[in-house]
């Protein structure tokens, strides 16, 4: 892969040829930062884990330089910290048995730039070579601007491909905003109950994040349990853990759909349900 940004790289955990590792991909997760894939796309990781017919490739757009270093890493230079975050992503790829992980090495500022075409070109290039059936990315209501910018770039990159080159499914998943507020028919529920030890280990390798007083390993797993438990007040739990997503597939099936209008539809349906519930209680 010939990515645009200096310092970009691809890591293949099992040592396969890069071309083979990319081409065997069936699932892809495209995230803003190191550790986002492991938080939002565990369903894809779990489905491909120890499965020679299904393989996940991760794509990390930024170098992760903007996060808090915490006391433990406070003496490290920015470049050293970037390298630590890349190493942690490689550890996660090894634990999760990814087919490959591509680290594009852009800054958060570059990722948030709506006019940055290099990121679009890189995303189009790896999607074209991998031909994944499913792509996971950030949801359109994520409150982290870098996450939201990456999600929009993923949508736009896929839209620039021909219909036959696009994935069959595209989902926006939870990191910096839960999706439990979506009305029931708008929620995609991913069962992530299997191998809870692997699920925890994938997040726990990110010591650079956890040591900065951000207990992502507890919060992400806790949210998955909460999603499953609070799904229904009338029924026993059918899942131990779940991640919630929103279906972005219509946006890549029909490029004429306006992204803002599509997102507004979710809000309007929630508004209608919530207001009617209040009316019924009066």
Note down pLDDT in tens along the chain; length 282 residues: 789 999 999 999 999 999 999 999 999 999 999 999 999 999 999 999 999 999 999 999 999 887 777 778 888 888 999 999 999 999 999 999 999 999 999 999 999 999 999 999 999 999 999 999 999 999 999 999 999 999 999 999 999 999 999 999 999 999 999 999 999 999 999 999 999 999 999 999 999 988 877 899 999 999 999 999 998 877 787 899 999 999 999 999 999 999 999 999 999 999 999 999 999 999
Residue 212 has what pLDDT?
75
Predicted model pTM: 0.96
Residue 109 has what pLDDT?
96
Neighbours of 90 (CB within 10 A): 19
Residue 64 has what pLDDT?
86
* CA–CA distance, 244 with 57 (Å, rounded to integer): 20
62 three-state secondary structure = strand
Dihedral angle of Cα 110, 171, 176, 240, to the nearest 10 degrees: -150
Residue 69 has what pLDDT?
73
* CA–CA distance, 272 with 274 (Å, rounded to integer): 6
List the chain domain ranges.
9-281
For residue 86, what are its two tokens? 């890349």
Q: Please give the DSSP secondary-structure letter assigned to residue 36.
A: H
For the stretch 225-234, contacts whose Cβ atoms lie closer than 8 Å and that sit 24 or more positions apart, written own/partner, are 226/180, 227/178, 227/180, 227/189, 228/193, 230/180, 231/189
Look at residues 38, 3, 23, 57 and name the one whose alpha carbon lies nearest to residue 209: 38
Superfamily for the 9-281 domain: LmbE-like (3.40.50.10320)
What lies within 8 Å, CB to CB, of 158 at 6+ separation is: 127, 135, 166, 167, 170, 252
Rounded to 10 deg, the angle between the 196-204 and 78-95 helix axes is 170
């Amino acid at each position: 892969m010939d990515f645009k940004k200096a310092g970009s790289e691809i890591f293949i955990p099992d040592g396969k040829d890069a071309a083979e590792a990319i081409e065997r991909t069936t699932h892809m997760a495209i995230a803003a930062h190191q550790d986002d894939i492991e938080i939002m796309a565990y369903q894809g990781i779990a489905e491909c884990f120890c499965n020679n017919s299904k393989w996940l490739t991760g794509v990390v757009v930024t170098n992760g330089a903007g996060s808090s270093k915490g006391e433990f890493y406070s003496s490290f230079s920015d470049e050293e910290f970037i390298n630590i975050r890349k190493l942690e992503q490689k550890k996660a790829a090894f634990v999760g048995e990814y087919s490959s992980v591509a680290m594009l090495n852009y800054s958060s500022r570059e990722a948030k730039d709506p006019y940055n075409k290099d990121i679009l070109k890189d995303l189009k290039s790896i999607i074209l070579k991998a031909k994944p059936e499913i792509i996971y990315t950030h949801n359109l209501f994520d409150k982290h601007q870098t996450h939201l910018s990456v999600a929009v770039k993923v949508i736009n990159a896929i839209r620039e491909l021909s219909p036959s080159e696009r994935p069959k499914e595209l989902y926006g998943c939870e990191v910096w905003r839960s999706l439990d507020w979506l009305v029931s028919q708008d929620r995609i529920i991913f069962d992530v109950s299997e191998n809870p030890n692997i699920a925890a280990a994938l997040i726990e390798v990110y010591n650079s994040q956890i040591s900065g007083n951000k207990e992502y390993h507890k919060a992400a797993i806790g949210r998955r349990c909460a999603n499953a438990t609070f799904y229904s007040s009338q029924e026993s739990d059918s899942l131990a853990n779940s991640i919630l997503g929103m279906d972005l597939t219509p946006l890549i099936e029909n490029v004429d759909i306006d992204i803002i209008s599509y997102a507004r539809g979710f809000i309007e349906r929630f508004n209608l349900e919530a207001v009617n519930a209040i009316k019924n209680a009066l």
